Amino acid sequence: MKKLLFVLFLSFACTSIYAQVKANSNSTVYCNGDSYGYYIDEIPGAVSYTWSVLGWAGGATIWPGWDTAIDITYSKPGIYDVMCTVEMSSGPDLVYGLAVDVYQEPWMFTTNTR
């Protein structure tokens, strides 16, 4: 019985170590109306996945994909935290996050000097 409990604990610990929020692309993120995809690998024993975005600018819209993936459109530059709260059937909720730097398009910084 002790070995079974140890194996279950070890598998849970390893799952939580390697789970993380990931971006579909490694490109620079702009607040230009484009959508950017994020996902988390499915976690054994998860009941549900709840997504949220925290940021100073408050300019992000979440477009639901499926439980383990979403798209986000940013309307303001700033630093955002893309968060996924995973409700587990056998214990406390797990929270995973990814910090995202959002920039304005470079052409928005140019001025007309006529």
Q: Is 78 left (phi over 0), alpha (psi -120 to 50) or beta?
A: left
Lowest mean pLDDT among 3-12, 17-26, 48-57, 86-95: 3-12
Domain residue spans of the chain: 20-104
**What's this model's pTM, rounded to 2 decimal places?**
0.75
pLDDT tens-digit readout, 33-79 = 999 999 999 999 999 999 999 986 678 999 987 799 999 999 999 99
Could you read off the pLDDT of 85-114 as tens digits, one per residue? 999 999 899 999 999 999 998 765 555 555
CA 101, 94, 15, 65 dihedral sign is: negative
Max Cα separation, the chain?
Answer: 80
User: May I ask the CATH architecture of the domain 20-104?
Assistant: Sandwich (2.60)
